[in-house]
Amino acid sequence: FAAQKNKVAIDSCVLGEDSTFLQQASEITGGTYMRVQDHGKLAQYMLGVFLMGVEFRKSFNTPPASKVDFRAACQCHSKMTDLSFVCSVCMSVYCGFRPICMTCNAHFKLPTALLKG
């Protein structure tokens, strides 16, 4: 969020598996995310896509952005989740209620809605 606030574009050139975090960071900052499958063409991608400034990329035929998954990954399993519990102290995301945050050790009471169900 600091990069977005300071208008700094984050470009990501991924050589291995797709990275949801880097996709999200590139998308919200106006940068470019690209997964290079043919490593022999890495120099071509770097010179043709990432070297030019962000303001010039709109004028050139750069690869289209892929659909970005903006769901959060839970701290406990690193799985994408649609509905989450978030620690109000450190903003860690969990797929289920945890009485003690695994990241900052904050303590929470069980929500009354869960007690009734």
**Averaged pLDDT in 10-residue chunks for the chain of 117 residues:** 81 86 86 87 82 75 70 83 88 89 88 60
Nearest to 75 by CA among 67, 87, 61: 87
User: Which amino acid would we find at residue 110?
Assistant: L
Cα 103 to Cα 105: distance, rounded to the nearest angstrom: 6
The whole-number pLDDT of residue 114 equals 58
The whole-number pLDDT of residue 67 equals 77
The whole-number pLDDT of residue 104 equals 93
Cα 74 to Cα 22: distance, rounded to the nearest angstrom: 16
Cα 63 to Cα 11: distance, rounded to the nearest angstrom: 13
The whole-number pLDDT of residue 63 equals 64
